[in-house]
Amino acid sequence: MTPHNNAAKGEIAKSVLMPGDPKRAKFIAESFLEDAKLVNDVRGALAYTGKYKGKEVSIMASGMGDGSMGIYSHELFKEYDVDRIIRVGSAGSISDDLKLGDVVAALSASTDSGYLNHYNFPGVFAPTASAKLIKALLKIDDTIVLGPIYSTPVFYCDDSYFEPCKKMGLLAVEMEAAALYANAAELGKDAITLLTISDIIGKEECLTAKEREETFTKMINTALELAISF
């Protein structure tokens, strides 16, 4: 156990899906897994373990931002011997080529966060997804959009803040991928981030509640297939 996770050793699977919202973690567990069991409820970061198509999978909320993702993913990798984490979440598009409901797999996650400073890397570390998971993902669904994204701890800011990101070819904005990828790299683990485009930054376009549910379901099915492919 850790200060943030009261699951016992062995109660968390080797593959973990991580949505940000605890309620979404609960929804995934109850809707997609068989025999789902609540294994953590510390600070409301709900974690469940069950089976998908006969294989064990865990679902755990990461909370919002790099600090929260940094804590939970590090503990899963190091203290619970998790091999791979698949972040499943939403993002705002900054690309003219993306539309609402598209699913993006984040190849890399540029960031304005200071989270990466503590690694004492001699230069600017580039957080990237696991090549192993990217290859496996493409065998499951080759229609997913692949590309670089931007991770930031800032939620409320002027839309113009993201213009340099768009100029450099980044596709979308979210809050957790950079910390997840950096932890995975440090600890020799695998990680990938799948994101449903829920809104278009700079435009008054966003998914309805029904559309969010439908597109979210497609993304989760893909993530679960990826989780059990190892």
- Beta strands 145-151; 172-174: pairing state: parallel
Write out the two tokens for 67: 């600090």
Has residue 203 been placed in a domain?
yes
Has residue 3 been placed in a domain?
no
Span 12-25, mean pLDDT?
96
Number of domains in the chain: 1
Write out the two tokens for 174: 């979210």
Q: What gap in Å lies between CA 91 and CA 199, rounded to an integer?
A: 7
Q: Which helix (H) or strand (E) holds 200?
A: strand 190-200
Has residue 167 been placed in a domain?
yes
Confidence of residue 216 (pLDDT cuts 50, 70, 90): confident
CATH number at residue 182: 3.40.50.1580
Confidence of residue 76 (pLDDT cuts 50, 70, 90): very high
Q: Residue 154's domain spans which residues?
A: 15-227
pLDDT score for 215 = 75
Has residue 183 been placed in a domain?
yes
Has residue 6 been placed in a domain?
no
pLDDT score for 205 = 85
pLDDT score for 1 = 79
Has residue 2 been placed in a domain?
no
Confidence of residue 40 (pLDDT cuts 50, 70, 90): very high
Span 123-152, mean pLDDT?
96
Q: Is pLDDT above 90 for 204?
A: no
Span 37-65, mean pLDDT?
97
Instruction: With CA atoms as reference, report the closest residue to 226 among 11, 53, 73.
Output: 53
Report, as residue numbers or ranges, the catalytic residues. 199
pLDDT score for 47 = 98
pLDDT, tens digit (0-9, with 9 covering 90-100), for 81-108: 999 999 999 999 999 999 999 999 999 9
Q: Is pLDDT above 80 for 194?
A: yes
Q: Is pLDDT above 80 for 214?
A: no
Span 68-90, mean pLDDT?
97
More confidently predicted of 190 and 207? 190
Q: Which helix (H) or strand (E) holds 217?
A: helix 209-227
Has residue 78 been placed in a domain?
yes
Has residue 8 been placed in a domain?
no
